[in-house]
Amino acid sequence: MQYRTLGRTGVQVSSLALGAMNFGRMGRTTQDEVTAIVDAALEAGVNLIDTADVYSAGESEEMVGKAIAGRRDDIVLATKASLPMGDERNHQGSSRRWLVTELDNSLRRLGVDHVDLYQIHRWDPSTSDEETLSALTDLQRAGKIRYFGSSTFPAYRIVQAQWAAREHHLGRYVTEQPSYSILQRGIETHVLPVTEEYGLGVLVWSPLSSGWLSGAVREGREITSNRSAFMPQRFDVTFTANRARLDAVERLAEVADEAGLTMIQLALGFVTAHPAVTSALIGPRTLDHLHSQLAAADTVLSADVLDAIDTVVAPGVDLAAHEKNDAPPALLDAALRRR
């Protein structure tokens, strides 16, 4: 396992981090399965675990808390907030009112007195940066969080938040957690240059592109993954974007074969090769998934392999741009672009 410094924090984290989105009802995993996955990941050298309040409505945090009991100090523990936690209109967002309340809920579910990294899951356009950063700064000073970061923020919002922290003499985001894979390279255009400029740690999610790069998705093969069961539109190859992804996967499989790599090694080796990336979040649902992903822990792609990948999907290109989660609100809500 390789280790890298998380931005400018001085904290050393593994290049592969354990994402807990599949823990609980969403991934149909039991507590025993989650504990076995956590045990195996830690034994392999993973020292960063990332979860969120919204994953299986808090169940993921509860399972992670039970799995790490007795070894909290050996783990860099991260969670997130801001996505809706129910129908109550104020049980979401990044207001002081909600963040203070929901962090306490997360700490209770995790069974800990602090988290190492608290992340705003999505930019909240209805809340000012000063409001959010002042709340996070106070929570940090209270000892409930060590650092705070953003997740899936557009590049201009990352810059704006850095400016607001300086303008108002507040703590700043020290990490960003964007989506990044061979098939979704858009963040190379704006987000990664910004994170490098400000010295942010980068924890990338979906490096296997929702399973497209797992090796299980191939031409002529039925797609039966857990993800395809509840997100069938992302795998319907009659859609133009999905057809393009499948065509790219077939070409990437040839690149992997010629290099003597699995598709997972190719995919994870690609994202961790970028100098701006600190860690890739893997989200196994089973022990077999975990072991196949851990096999990429020390994968280093040659320049020839990286060049070959560039010929399949060009730098800065998203093959499924409609799946991006960082679009300005006015692109998604017509009322915001009408006078």
206 vs 242: CA distance, rounded Å: 16
* CA dist., res. 275 & res. 197, Å (int): 12
Which residues belong to the active site?
Answer: 55
Alpha carbon 17 to its chain centroid, in Å, reads 9
Distance CA 146, CA 175 (A): 12
Q: Please provide residue 236's backbone torsions phi and psi, each rounded to the nearest 5 degrees.
A: -80, 110
**Could you give the C-alpha distances from 149 to 85, 102, 153, 183, 200, in angstroms and in order?**
20, 16, 10, 25, 9
Q: Are strands 12-14 and 3-5 parallel, antiparallel or unpaired?
A: antiparallel
Whole-angstrom distance, CA of residue 29 vs CA of residue 135? 34
DSSP state of 14: E
| Tokens representing residue 337 in the block | 């672009």
Spatial separation of the C-alpha atoms in residues 157 and 143, rounded to whole Å: 26
Residue 126 exposed, middle or buried by CB count within 10 Å (0-12, 13-18, 19+)? exposed
